[in-house]
Amino acid sequence: MVNYLIGVLSFIFGMCIGSFLNVCIYRLPASQSIVYPGSTCPNCNTSIAFYDNIPILSYLWLRAKCRHCKMPIPIRYLLVEIIGGFFALSVWIKFGLTFEALIYFTFITSLIVITFIDMDHRIIPDVITLPGIVIGFLVSFIIPTITYKDSILGLLAGGGSLFVVASIYYLLTKKDGMGGGDIKLLAMIGAFLGWKSVLFTLFVSSAVGALIGIIIMLGSGKNLKLAVPFGPFLSLGAIVYIFFGSDLIFWYFRFWG
């Protein structure tokens, strides 16, 4: 009964954080404060009352429309709140009520924000990745699953590997094939999760990214060179590593070893 209650509270907590993530996703690309002013409708600029800002419930009660101007509310707002709740519950199941769980949940929420901003604007905000690199390194002195040496190696491997790839691509094509945001994102991932996570994240993100790219190109019916943001795939790889990385790596070497 206690575990059930904690699970429910974890999901509710995650939904509330997800509501705040929606604010970050909307305001950070516009260089707006994520604290002030309060939430308003982007169409009519009317302030949103607290009872219209309850995660999930308000969206359903309002039938996905602004109470005042009836402008449709994108379903993404609902999805981000559900995703926040899902990962809060998942982190609790994986790590329990620990400081480590809070660290990983915070890290995952930053990846969620990065994912949606990159999909919309093709940018990865430095305001998240640069402090994230520093925080990831500092966290290595607190949680037992990673040492500061692993964090440093992860930072260097993450940022360095993509920097080399981007440099080689530019030398061969005279075009920018990968943005600096991706480089800093993988450096942040390495700082939080260590050097092993970098290899794992690169493998998963490249495989999934290639598959999605092929599907999009086939669906378009044309042989097009599409600019697909890489940040969401890097974020996906890092999240998969948090929950399943050690088991998958062990399985891989046991199967192929």
pLDDT tens digits, one per residue of 1-39: 778 899 999 999 999 999 999 999 999 998 899 988 888
Give the total number of structural domains in the chain. 2
Q: Which of 50, 76, 97 is the last residue of a domain?
A: 97
DSSP structural state of residue 125? -
Task: Specify whether 78 is located in the same domain as 104.
Answer: no
Q: In whole angstroms, what is the distance from residue 109 CA to residue 102 CA?
A: 11
Task: Specify whether 116 is located in the same domain as 225.
Answer: yes
Task: Specify whether 76 is located in the same domain as 123.
Answer: no
CA distances (Å), origin 115, targets 204, 206, 232: 15, 15, 4
Domain with 33, as residue range(s), is: 1-97
CA distances (Å), origin 254, targets 73, 247, 248, 249, 251: 48, 10, 10, 8, 5
Q: In whole angstroms, what is the distance from residue 183 CA to residue 206 CA?
A: 14
Q: Give the model's pLDDT for residue 74.
A: 92
Please name every residue paired with 134 in a beta bridge, in sequence order, or none if there are none: none
Task: Specify whether 176 is located in the same domain as 119.
Answer: yes
pTM to 2 decimal places: 0.91
Task: Specify whether 128 is located in the same domain as 226.
Answer: yes
Task: Specify whether 236 is located in the same domain as 190.
Answer: yes
Do you know the residue count of the chain? 257
- Confidence band for 202, pLDDT divided at 50, 70 and 90: very high
Q: Which of 41, 71, 97 is the last residue of a domain?
A: 97
Task: Specify whether 141 is located in the same domain as 257.
Answer: yes
Pairs from 45-54 (Cβ < 8 Å, separation ≥ 24):
53/19
